Amino acid sequence: MSSIPASAFLALALILFCIGLYGALTKRNTVIVLISIELMLNAVNINLVTFSKYGINPSIDGQIFALFAMAVAAAEAAVGLAILMALYRNKKTVHIDEMNEMKN
């Protein structure tokens, strides 16, 4: 186990975050955007766990934070999907670029 260096985990988190960011900023389908946001959150979780194991002061705190983040992410996903459902009923679309009520 210890043969894998911390930088590998961090690189994985970085790649995951960048994929998520790309998806969140470019995809038109709102469901994909929400999934991409989940990806970014999970990248954060990997970072937290990595530092709880290989950090300067390794402790269990980071893993507890990761659990918290998962719970919050689950709740956020539920709320996000509910809002999306309501929006879909009103606008008959899930394309994020058509949801521009806040324009100007």
Partner 1 sequence: MENAWLIPLFPLLSFMILLLIGKRLREASAYVGILLTLASLVFSILVLFERFSEPSYLAKFNWLTIGDLHLTAGFEVNQLNALMLFIVSLVSFLVHTYSKGYMHGDERFHIFYAYLGLFTFAMLGLVISPNILQTYIFWELVGVGSFLLIGFYYYKEEAKAAAKKAFIMTRIGDVGLLIGMILLFWQTKSFEYSEIFNAVEAGGVSNTMITLTAILIFIGAVGKSGQFPLHTWLPDAMEGPTPVSALIHAATMVAAGVYLVAALFPLFTASKTALLTVATIGGITAIFAASIGLVQTDIKRVLAYSTVSQLGYMMLALGSAGYVAGVFHLMTHAFFKALLFLAAGSVIHAVHTQNIEEMGGLWKKLKLTAPLFLIGTLAISGVPGLSGFFSKDEILVAAWEGGHPVLFLLALIAAFMTAFYMFRLFFMVFTGEKRGKQKDVHESPSVMTMPMVLLGILAVVAGYVNTPWFGSFLGDWLVDGNPALGHSHIEGPAWIMIAATVVSLAGILLAYLIYGKRSIAPDWLSGKGDMLHTVLNNKYYIDEFYKLTVVAFVTGFSYLLRFIDVFLVEGIVKGVTGIVQGLGRTGSKMQSGQVQTYGAVAFLGLAVLVVIYALTGGYLR
Binding site for partner 1 (CB under 8 A): 21, 24-26, 33, 96-97, 99-104
Q: Is residue 44 within 8 Å of 37, Cβ to Cβ?
A: no
Output the six-digit token pair for 63. 């893993």
Closest separation in Å from C-beta 30 to partner 1 = 9
Closest separation in Å from C-beta 32 to partner 1 = 12
Alpha-carbon dihedral sign for residues 45, 48, 50, 52: negative
Nearer to partner 1, 14 or 21 (CB): 21
Nearer to partner 1, 60 or 101 (CB): 101
Output the six-digit token pair for 26. 């470019």
CA distance linking residue 77 with residue 65, whole number of Å? 18
Nearer to partner 1, 66 or 96 (CB): 96
